């Protein structure tokens, strides 16, 4: 019986290997998009608290961009259907009609989505990053009073995530998942991190791996990152293992020295939540997912099903998705608008504090306060 499963596993692995070789080849033949007269911002609510917080971000953008919308240079386009119910009904992480609508946009503002534990349903986030080739996950964390100004560059389409729902099982014996690292995929995230450092006056990049254990995948990630680093002689480069890096972020004297942090997919997912907690919690942090054609901006937290179950969804804090909107505005070149929104979010928290409890204001009250500041 085991031999039968082994033969099936070998055939399955061969299919996966060929698909990843093909994916690596496509990375070397990417067409750059032409600049368009109108920028379309797609807004996806998601699950749980997602539609609640995303609605307030949409209101803020409509107030902030009213002149551009009236002039026809900007469009905010809500996209319905990226819900767990719809995804389960069609057994796809992104329904076909939703994906088609997404690809008609230029940038996306996306609320959190729910991913079922177990089974074979892939994360909507993972699928979106793959379908739109959003290879750079960029997460800033700032605590000025402690000298913290970090920007994380997490590879977004490879590692343990690209084949996370395509592992092998021999019933009653074992299961195996796969980790994928390509030269092209590593080179482009490394280039993005070092270019960001160069353009923003950063002098230090920390590469994070577990290359002493994952010798093939993390070993190659390390080697390629150092190869790219050699082209930026003015930037200091250090490498840390992921476990010690998690500890280093908790050392006040050492953590002030970090600026740009470059790391593979899974490690980036974990450590950026730690970093957001240092900033004030995952509810305060937004993130960018950028590729050569599309970009998606989102909160880094989940859909908070327990909060919804307690009937507390209206008290959800929208700061994370609003900070993501700030990043989106910077990405499309509206720097002054981004700064205005950033400042207004901070001010709104002072005059209309939202705490996630009944002692604070509701998400809608916060959104109304913010929109009035921007109008």
- Beta strand segments in 217-363, E: 236-241, 260-263, 286-290, 295-299
In which band, very low, low, confident or very high, does the pLDDT at 110 lie, cut at 50, 70 and 90?
very high
What CATH number belongs to 1-30+143-279? 3.40.718.10
Domain boundaries, the chain: 1-30+143-279, 31-134+291-375
Q: For residue 157, give both structure tokens.
A: 């389409």
Q: How far apart are CA 307 and CA 313, in angstroms?
A: 6
In which band, very low, low, confident or very high, does the pLDDT at 286 lie, cut at 50, 70 and 90?
confident
Minimum mean pLDDT range among 28-42, 120-134, 324-338: 28-42
355 or 310, higher pLDDT: 310
Cβ–Cβ < 8 Å for 2, 173: yes
Nearest Cα to Cα of residue 39 among 328, 342, 341, 340:
328
Residue 283 has pLDDT above 70, yes or no: no
Q: How far apart are CA 80 and CA 133, in angstroms?
A: 22
pTM of the model: 0.79
Residue 148 has pLDDT above 90, yes or no: yes
Cβ–Cβ < 8 Å for 247, 239: no
Cβ–Cβ < 8 Å for 367, 333: no
State the pLDDT at residue 1.
60
> Exposed, middle or buried: residue 254 (CB in 10 Å: 0-12, 13-18, 19+)?
exposed
Q: For 360-371, write each residue's pLDDT tens digit.
A: 899 999 999 999
Q: How far apart are CA 134 and CA 293, in angstroms?
A: 8
Q: How far apart are CA 23 and CA 9, in angstroms?
A: 21
Same CATH topology for 1-30+143-279 and 31-134+291-375? yes
Average pLDDT over residues 9-30: 87
Residue 206 has pLDDT above 90, yes or no: yes
Q: For 64-93, write each residue's pLDDT tens digit.
A: 999 999 999 999 999 999 999 999 999 999
Owner of token pair 């074979």: 120
Q: Does domain 31-134+291-375 have CATH number 1.20.950.20?
A: no
State the pLDDT at residue 356.
82
Average pLDDT in the chain: 92
For helices 319-331 and 50-64, the axis angle rounded to 10 degrees is 40
Q: For 172-203, write each residue's pLDDT tens digit.
A: 888 889 999 999 999 999 999 999 999 999 99
Tally of CB atoms within 10 A around 186: 24
Q: For 219-267, write each residue's pLDDT tens digit.
A: 999 999 999 999 999 999 999 999 999 999 999 999 999 999 999 999 9
Q: For residue 225, give both structure tokens.
A: 């990152």
DSSP 8-state secondary structure symbol assigned to residue 146: G
Q: For 155-177, write each residue's pLDDT tens digit.
A: 998 999 888 778 888 888 888 89
Cβ–Cβ < 8 Å for 208, 243: no
């Amino acid at each position: 019986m085991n031999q039968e499963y082994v033969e099936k596993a070998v055939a399955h692995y061969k299919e996966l290997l060929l698909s990843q070789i093909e994916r690596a080849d496509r990375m070397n033949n990417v067409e750059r998009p032409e600049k368009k007269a109108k920028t379309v911002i797609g807004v996806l609510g998601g699950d749980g608290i997602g539609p609640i917080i995303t609605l307030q971000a949409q209101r803020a953008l409509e107030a902030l961009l009213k002149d551009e919308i009236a002039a026809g240079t900007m469009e905010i386009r809500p996209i319905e259907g990226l819900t767990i119910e719809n995804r389960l009904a069609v057994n796809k992480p992104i329904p076909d009609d939703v994906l088609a609508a997404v690809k008609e946009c230029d940038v996306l503002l996306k609320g959190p989505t729910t991913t079922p534990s177990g089974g074979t349903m892939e994360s909507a986030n993972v699928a979106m990053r793959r379908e739109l080739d959003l290879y750079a996950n960029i997460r800033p964390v700032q605590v000025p009073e402690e000298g913290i100004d970090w920007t994380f560059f997490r590879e977004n389409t490879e590692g343990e995530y690209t084949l996370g729902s395509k592992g092998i099982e021999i019933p009653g014996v074992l299961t195996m998942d796969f980790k994928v690292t390509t030269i092209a995929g590593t080179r482009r995230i490394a280039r993005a991190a070092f270019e960001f450092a160069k353009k923003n006056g950063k002098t230090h990049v920390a590469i994070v791996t577990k290359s002493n254990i994952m010798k093939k995948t993390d070993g190659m990630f390390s080697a390629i990152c150092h190869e790219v680093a050699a082209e930026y002689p003015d930037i200091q480069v250090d490498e840390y293992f992921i476990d010690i890096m998690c500890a280093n972020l908790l050392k006040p004297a050492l953590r002030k020295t970090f600026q740009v942090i470059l790391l593979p997919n899974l490690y980036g997912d974990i450590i950026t939540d730690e970093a957001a907690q240092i900033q004030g919690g995952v509810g305060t942090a937004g993130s960018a997912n950028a590729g050569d054609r599309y970009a998606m901006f989102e909160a880094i937290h989940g859909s908070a099903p327990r909060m919804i179950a307690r009937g507390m969804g209206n008290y959800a804090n929208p700061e994370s998705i609003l900070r993501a909107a700030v990043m989106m505005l910077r990405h499309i070149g509206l720097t002054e608008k981004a700064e205005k929104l950033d400042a207004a979010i901070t001010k709104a928290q002072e005059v209309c504090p939202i705490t996630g409890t009944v002692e604070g204001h509701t998400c809608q009250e916060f959104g109304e306060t913010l929109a009035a500041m921007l109008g």
